[in-house]
Amino acid sequence: MSEIIKYLSVRFQTTNKTYTFSTTDLSIKNGDAVVVETQRGLEYARVIAEPFDKPNVEFEIKQIVRKATEEDLEQFKQNLRDSVSARDICQEESDKLQLGMNILSAEYTLDRTKITFIYLADNRVDFRELLKVLASIFRCRIDLRQVGTRDKAKMVSGIGPCGRELCCAKYISEFDRISINMAKNQLLALNIQKLSGQCGNLMCCLKYEDEAYKELRNGLPKMNAVVEYEGEKYRLTSMNVIARTCKLENHEHAIYLTLDDLKNYGKYQTVNKEEDIEVKEEVDE
């Protein structure tokens, strides 16, 4: 009689990413601590959902090694304590070799056969000499892994301009590509300082509403396009795709339209640099 296999979603303390493992131990349930084998070695993780049937994937799913014991938990806690001093030692040795590395963290595998150092650096680092020094100190396999500024912000965390914890630290498991075009699509002022997160790159939240704005702006002219409406030419100077309104201006008039009126009754073209439409200057009183 074949054994019943169930599948579990587990998460490691150092990442928000969820991984799937299989098990024949039907006593393992949501919230239990388990020991699993990853590419780095044996690691301590926690089950975050009830067991489920086999997911529809083609790749091989590894089995959970065992349900974690009290000894595993104590070892995990000891590793966390030791990783702080390990990080400091790595930083000290790196500074001696003048490698320009900022060591962000150190992570032991559960059985302490390997330690991974996460670091930030402006350029590629030749750390061969550092590897030799660290191997002689820790007497185990050493892995040095370089990350970017977005990864650092995820690890350190903080409060964003919205007043909430950084999205990358809270729940984002993989970074999307963020471009300045997303800010343009949402008609935001192109102030790089205001559009940048704590990592110094464009904020991840620019992507959240990007598809919605693309859909809302579909078929509409670009900002500053020349628009002919009721026989007069205007420049499109303002547009609010949420309120569905826009503003057209020339040297004589400023008119407000709904975007539906603009699409149905306006004739427009892409911005023509040779054609100059004067816009009256508004001065705050």
Q: Give the distance, in angstroms, between the CA of residue 214 and the centroid of all CA atoms in the same chain.
A: 21
Task: Report how many helices (DSSP H) and strands (DSSP E) the chain contains, helices first.
Answer: 8, 13
DSSP strand pairing (114-120 vs 102-108): antiparallel
What integer pLDDT is reported at residue 193 of this predicted model? 87
Helix axes 128-138, 70-96, angle to 10 degrees: 140
* Residuewise pLDDT in 10s, the chain (285 residues): 467 888 999 998 877 678 899 998 889 999 999 999 988 889 999 999 988 887 777 778 899 999 999 999 999 999 999 999 999 999 999 999 999 999 999 999 999 999 999 999 988 899 999 999 999 999 999 999 998 888 888 877 888 888 888 888 888 877 888 999 999 888 888 888 889 988 888 999 899 989 999 888 888 888 888 888 888 889 999 999 999 999 999 988 899 999 988 887 767 654 444 344 444 443 333
User: What pLDDT shows up at residue 96?
Assistant: 95
User: Measured on CA atoms in the order 253, 255, 259, 265, is the torsion positive or negative?
Assistant: negative
User: What is the model's pLDDT at position 269?
Assistant: 53
pLDDT attached to residue 279: 41
Pairing of strands 141-147, 114-120: parallel
Look up the pTM and report it: 0.69
The pLDDT assigned to 247 comes to 93
- What is the pLDDT, as a whole number, of residue 36? 94
Given this model, what pLDDT does residue 161 score? 85
